[in-house]
Amino acid sequence: MAIKLFSIIFFIETVNCQFQCKFDRPILGEYYSYENGLETHTSFKKNGNIDRLFYRRESGRGATANIITVLDNHALGECVYLNWKENPFRHVSKHHYQLIYRDKTKSCYQCFEIYNRTHNILQIRKSECDEVTSISTNQMNIQDLCLTINEEAEFDTLFLKTYSAEECRATIYGTYHFTYEFREGGIGICDNSISRLVSCPDPGTPFDAVNERFWMTYGYCRNLVSSIDAQPLYQCLGHWFNEKGDIFTAIANERVGSERWYDKFRCMLTRQDQPQWFAKSLFAECARLYSPTDGP
């Protein structure tokens, strides 16, 4: 019985296997992410090529000392195998694409697990490129390589640059008062009565049935150096759940131009059982949000 089952699984995987990949939606596209402190631009091209550019942020010289970005690393690679992994016995947040990546300059293969969370968001984690992995056409090698990815490994979150807003209502709806705190540089919590998040249909527009954006008004706190006085307008890029009941919502600041990707994308965390709390990330990433009351 066990042997029979194995042969069925083997058969399905062989059928799905494509040894040259072509990308289509939901993977195809240009993405921005913040990975290990580097601004990252990823392009999944139609022909299966994967180009990634990594930039460091530095303060420039001279009186104006603006932040400049410096190219740190450039990775050119291609997809050699792509397969959709779905197991009806596992939570839907575990369904993902398995991609085998070949770097064009290094002799290694890496397994990428790609989770398409919404139309605008991919989350990725990968195996290491620390040893020479030779993949022939052997199916088991691919699975072995992918098994080296730790089940608990964190994801990088990729935001589609040509995103289209999605409904916010499922996770953020209504008016909230919030206090805020920056974990880096701040010393204390800013509780100004005008700080609020307003997520309601745009009044007076023909679109008042849809609710794809919300305002956050940050009140100023005198004693907090890092408190800010600003009113960003966020568009929702969709949400997803994990098996613990955490709800992640990706957002884009509509008032930030596309030349400032670093400031544009954020991730928010809420919970089904604690809808009054949320945490918002300081960067374009979701990995360091652990609970609604404990975000960076």
Ligand X SMILES: *[C@@H]1O[C@H](CO)[C@@H](O)[C@H](O)[C@H]1NC(C)=O
Q: Which residues bind ligand X (CB under 6 A)?
A: 26, 84, 116, 118-119
State in angstroms the smallest separation of the CB of 109 from ligand X.
23
Element housing 6 (H / E): helix 2-16
Give residue for tokens 């990546």.
Answer: 101
* 84 or 207: CB nearest ligand X: 84
Do 32 and 161 form a contact (C-beta atoms < 8 A)?
yes
State in angstroms the smallest separation of the CB of 129 from ligand X.
26
* 83 or 270: CB nearest ligand X: 83
Do 219 and 209 form a contact (C-beta atoms < 8 A)?
no
User: Rounded to an integer, what distance in angstroms lies between the CA atom of residue 71 and that of residue 276?
Assistant: 41
User: Rounded to an integer, what distance in angstroms lies between the CA atom of residue 124 and that of residue 98?
Assistant: 10
Measured from the Cβ of residue 212, the count of other Cβ atoms closer than 10 Å reads 19
User: Rounded to an integer, what distance in angstroms lies between the CA atom of residue 216 and that of residue 212?
Assistant: 14
* 83 or 199: CB nearest ligand X: 83
User: Rounded to an integer, what distance in angstroms lies between the CA atom of residue 33 and that of residue 267?
Assistant: 11
User: Rounded to an integer, what distance in angstroms lies between the CA atom of residue 221 and that of residue 241?
Assistant: 33
User: Rounded to an integer, what distance in angstroms lies between the CA atom of residue 156 and that of residue 236?
Assistant: 19
State in angstroms the smallest separation of the CB of 65 from ligand X.
42
* 39 or 212: CB nearest ligand X: 212
State in angstroms the smallest separation of the CB of 31 from ligand X.
15
Nearest residue by C-beta to ligand X? 116
State in angstroms the smallest separation of the CB of 95 from ligand X.
7
State in angstroms the smallest separation of the CB of 259 from ligand X.
28
* 219 or 238: CB nearest ligand X: 238
State in angstroms the smallest separation of the CB of 246 from ligand X.
16
* 118 or 270: CB nearest ligand X: 118
Do 136 and 145 form a contact (C-beta atoms < 8 A)?
no
* 19 or 84: CB nearest ligand X: 84
* 24 or 294: CB nearest ligand X: 24
Phi and psi at residue 260, in whole multiples of 5°?
A: -120, 60
State in angstroms the smallest separation of the CB of 116 from ligand X.
4
Secondary structure of residue 193 in the 3-state scheme? coil
**DSSP strand E in the chain: where?**
29-35, 38-44, 49-59, 67-85, 96-103, 109-116, 121-126, 156-160, 174-177, 196-199, 213-217, 233-241, 246-253, 265-271, 274-280
Dig out the tokens for 266 from the structure: 């954020």
